[in-house]
Amino acid sequence: MSDKPTIAVIGGTGAEGSGLAFRLAHAGHAVVIGSRDAAKAQATAAELNAALGTDAVRGARSDEAAAEASIVLLTVPYAAQQATALDLKDQLRGKILVDATVPLVPPKVGRVQLPEGGSAVAQLQLLLGDEVKVVAAFQNVSAHHLKDLGHSIDCDVLVCADDVAAAETVIGLAKAIGLSAYYAGPVANSAAVEALTSVLITINRRHKVAGSGIRITGLG
Amino acid sequence: MSDKPTIAVIGGTGAEGSGLAFRLAHAGHAVVIGSRDAAKAQATAAELNAALGTDAVRGARSDEAAAEASIVLLTVPYAAQQATALDLKDQLRGKILVDATVPLVPPKVGRVQLPEGGSAVAQLQLLLGDEVKVVAAFQNVSAHHLKDLGHSIDCDVLVCADDVAAAETVIGLAKAIGLSAYYAGPVANSAAVEALTSVLITINRRHKVAGSGIRITGLG
């Protein structure tokens, strides 16, 4: 048994979620991919295990995945974010929910279109209440880079949460997968980080790259 | 006579404005510092000329400064942004207004507090109408670094404007003072860049640095 926490990745069959699951399993965490469809989750888990040469990744229905984990990552599309998280409210109680949701509004995903209140993740913290420690993170990290262990990921992680200790735990997770991560303020500040994703999409298109990112500078 | 455009810096007696004026004059632009108080503008101009060993910088009342320039930078505090710009509407007609305003709400300047519509600069574009080409830029560049020519400025400039050609002109200005600059989408996208300043202030405080910044990565 590892002393590293088991992590559920809800929406882990998608590009961003499976990429994070891949990196976390590679770093030694037990990972449970969660999906509405358990068979789909198990298929993704099998692919990741094959790529990693381990059995660290399992697949399960989302509620089972969330129940087993002590930290839950949410990587579903914006349109499914609130319903998915609210369905898991019982399983999330007392845990850290790491929300990577970006409120992109297709088709104009390169245009900042702020959700009600400015931040999709802050809105979710309001809906879930204080029993769930919501931490916004990983919104700017390109799925393109996560999937290839040969890629060093040239993107820092800005971590926003009202609970600073929960944010520090997530900063630790980011560091475990080789990323620099910084506490970026209360969950309200996630508005900046979420919106920045549309800026990066604009830059990707103009510069014909797959995954631009950001680095924090000036830290001496 | 230089063929480089004359640039007015309204609010150029402040830290950010005088820093940008300093760098622009150093790059060979004629610069007119604009202030409500012409004597104060002239005093700042004299200081900058003394530091640069030139006479490239002049000071004038804001309306006179804006009238003389073909590109106008606005670097006043958020509380004064709209009134200052609307007072200069006649002088700004047909010109590029580069707005570096960040909608910080003291005392919690490290907390993202989005203005109406999400972006202070987008709101100003609405108020000024299409006759003024509003370009959001320089919000994340620390005044601390601008004032010291010995400092290379380790911060990229994200440039947002509805008029892409106007954005390209401002990207050229940023490059002239040694900064990398990227078109970051329509002026609505300035919401991300403005809000990011509160994130950088949070990082400055936690890491006890004077001017953190950002770099865009992954451009190959």
| Domain that residue A145 falls in | 7-207
Interval A71-93 mean pLDDT: 98
Query: Is residue B175 situated within a structural domain?
Result: yes
Query: Is residue A214 situated within a structural domain?
Result: no
Q: Which residues of chain B does A193 touch, with a Cβ-Cβ cutoff of 8 Å? A: 199
Q: Which residues of chain A does B111 touch, with a Cβ-Cβ cutoff of 8 Å? A: 185-186, 188-189
Nearest CA in chain B to A153: B218
Query: Is residue B121 situated within a structural domain?
Result: yes
Residue A114 banded pLDDT, cuts 50, 70, 90: very high
> How many CB contacts within 8 angstroms connect chain A with chain B?
140
Q: B195 touching A, CB under 8 A?
A: yes
A76 and A20 in contact (C-beta within 8 Å)?
Answer: no
Task: Residue B136: name the closest of B115, B150, B121, B114 by CA.
Answer: B121
Q: B189 touching A, CB under 8 A?
A: yes
Interval B27-48 mean pLDDT: 97
Residue B2 banded pLDDT, cuts 50, 70, 90: low
With a CB-CB cutoff of 8 Å, which residues 106-145 of chain A face chain B? 110-114, 118-119, 142, 145
Query: Is residue B220 situated within a structural domain?
Result: no
pLDDT single digits (tens) B159-214: 999 999 999 999 999 999 999 999 999 999 999 999 999 999 999 999 999 899 99
Alpha carbon A56 to its chain centroid, in Å, reads: 19
CATH code, domain carrying A61 = 3.40.50.720
pLDDT single digits (tens) A123-150: 999 999 999 999 999 999 988 888 888 8
Domains: count for chain A: 1
- Select the residue from B111, B217, B219 to test the A interface by mutation, using most A Cβ atoms within 10 A: B217
Interval A109-119 mean pLDDT: 95
Query: Is residue A145 situated within a structural domain?
Result: yes
Residue A2 banded pLDDT, cuts 50, 70, 90: low
Query: Is residue A213 situated within a structural domain?
Result: no
Examine the predicted complex and report whether its ipTM is higher than 0.90.
Answer: yes
Task: Residue A136: name the closest of A102, A106, A113 by CA.
Answer: A102
For residue B133, CA distances in Å to B52, B94, B106 come to 30, 7, 29
Query: Is residue B215 situated within a structural domain?
Result: no
> Across the interface, which of A142, A154, A189 has its CB nearest the CB of B111?
A189
B101 and B81 in contact (C-beta within 8 Å)?
Answer: yes
Task: Residue A25: name the closest of A1, A48, A50 by CA.
Answer: A48
Query: Is residue A182 situated within a structural domain?
Result: yes
Beta strands B213-217 and A213-217 are antiparallel
- Distance of alpha carbon B190 from alpha carbon B137, whole angstroms: 8
In degrees and rounded to multiples of 5, residue B93 shows phi and psi of -55, 125
pLDDT single digits (tens) B65-113: 999 999 999 999 999 999 999 999 999 999 999 999 999 999 999 999 9
Q: What distance separates the 2 farthest-apart alpha carbons in chain A?
A: 48
Between B145 and B97, the higher pLDDT residue: B97
